[in-house]
Amino acid sequence: MDLSAWLRGLGLGQYEQAFRDNAIEPEVLPQLTAEDLKEIGVVPVGHRRKLLDAIAALRVSEVPASDRARGGRMPVISPVDASGERRQVTVLFADLSGYTEWARC
């Protein structure tokens, strides 16, 4: 795989030198995290997300079609932050008086 061509194909050719300077080769790509990309100079979140999505797509394309058909998967290191994401959730619970009797009718 030509890493420079891959980056240019993503519209992120400006990072070719950063990848070279940090000895990032195709074998290393599946192990890159958002923090790694930030450290080598990929500052915009959109660029990091685009790279991580493209890396994830490469992982899927490396699994042979016969294995995908059987549900086989490659062991992958997730680029997603393991600490997760916090979101506010509102839950409504309503207990209707006499509902069981009403449902039997």
The domains found in the chain, sorted by start residue, are: 3-104 (1.10.150.50)
DSSP for 42-90, please give it.
--SHHHHHHHHHHHHHHHHHHS-HHHHHTT--------S-TT-------
Side-chain half-sphere exposure of 74, counting CA atoms within 13 A: 15
Query: What is the distance, to the nearest Å, from the Cα of residue 81 to the centroid of all Cα atoms in its chain?
Result: 9
Judged against a pLDDT cut of 70, whether residue 83 lies above it is answered with: no
Q: What is the pTM of this model?
A: 0.56
- Distances from the Cα of 69 to the Cα of 35, 43, 66, 72, 78, angstroms: 33, 38, 5, 7, 22
How much of the chain exceeds pLDDT 90, in percent?
40
